[in-house]
Amino acid sequence: MKIAIIGLGYVGLPLAIEFGKKYPVLGFDIDASRVAELNKGEDRTLEADLVGMQLALKGSASSGLAFSANTEDLKACNIFIVTVPTPIDQFKKPDLKPLLKASEMLGKVLKKGDIVIYESTVYPGCTEEDCVPVLAKTSGLVFNQDFYCGYSPERINPGDKVNTLTKIKKVTSGSTPAIAKQVDELYQSIITAGTHLAPSIKVAEASKAIENAQRDVNISFVNELALIFDRMDIDTQDVLAAAGTKWNFLKYQPGLVGGHCIGVDPYYLAHKAESLGYQPQVILSGRRVNDTMGMFVANKVVKLMIAKGITIKGAKALVLGVTFKENCPDIRNSKVIDIVQELNQFGLQVDVYDPHANADAVKEEYKIDLIPQIAKGYDAVVLAVSHQEFKAINYPSILNNPSVLFDTKAFIDRNLVDGRL
């Protein structure tokens, strides 16, 4: 048995390292620069256990990890695990291009008896209805006779050094009962938290889609509360603290909802529902609320500035953080950009500072130049991401008088801030 992990990002790399400790593993990525970086023992995502990676790279007689960008190397493998991104397009519809291209590539190297396991988050039915036909057409092989499929949704939490890959229970599934058992046993060999064998691939796909949709809807509820309480001039955090004294109150926090999962996956579920003639109500209403929060924050900051008599056009603002969550470098689908763009439209000069984000990646993705260090003389400062480093900032020293300090994460001493979510 030789395993190939397709895609070496936040999901694929930790998986390749863990499997590489027990089996011969090929970590494959179409980005040759990413492969070169990993071969040097470096990881820009900061997700990898670098010590574990070095051990896996050294290998043994029965195990070991190698990285490659050459598709010819895939021919020696017989289990393929696909961990490519599944984003949405500009119309908020599923963009399956990375997934289908990966399937087409694998179809060219597929042999009789091979298994393709998908980990990418998709809508229920995607593996068998969209990916399998591509594999079958490209390979000329017959599904569930010559080759087989599995689905085991990724559950990586970027930046989380406690709940890591092996400590999160894994949902598994396969295209036949025998393959499902084989897929389950494969993951059981590396996941110390155990596995849950789902009765079908569709069930496993649906389980991941609803995990993130549920969280999205819950956050949208408290975000809507923040919008309502702002009009009532009461502090949302005070209300949540009081309500949270009841044992069964769910303690979600308002904020920006971005990232590769929560801000994307509900659209996959909604897309499938719409294709079957059902128009989702709760899921999409939650998305609409969450998608407005960046604009709300920017508008609130400008209103607070006007109330203090600060001239808006040409005013200098600082946005702290650009990643989609705290203490990690992941900038995918960051909603901080909505704040920056809205403030720019009001005529403010906006600096963005983030010690965790890669400046080149931010420039390429969002056309924003990160500042290397915080300046002084700001008319407004918006804390958008609660990176630990931002606790140590002396806020009065970087602000003009008068000025506005807004906290989207209830992270700063409330006595210093003019407003917060």
Active-site residue list: 261
Q: How far apart are CA 49 and CA 55, in angstroms?
A: 10
Beta bridge partners of 171: 196
What spatial distance separates the first Cα and last Cα of the chain, rounded to whole Å? Answer: 52
SS3 67: strand
* CA–CA dist 267, 93 (Å, integer): 7
- What is the β-pairing status of strands 3-6 and 419-420? unpaired
Bond before 266 cis per omega within 30 degrees? no
Q: Are the beta carbons of 29 and 7 closer than 8 angstroms?
A: yes
Residue type, 116: V
Contact 61, 22 (CB under 8 A): no
| CA proximity to 11, closest of 48, 42, 50 | 48
Residue 141 DSSP label: P
Q: How is 276-330 classified by DSSP, letter by letter? A: TT---SHHHHHHHHHHTHHHHHHHHHHHHHHHTT---TT-EEEEE--SSSTTS--
At 150, list the tokens: 């599995």
- Cα separation of 229 and 243, whole Å? 14
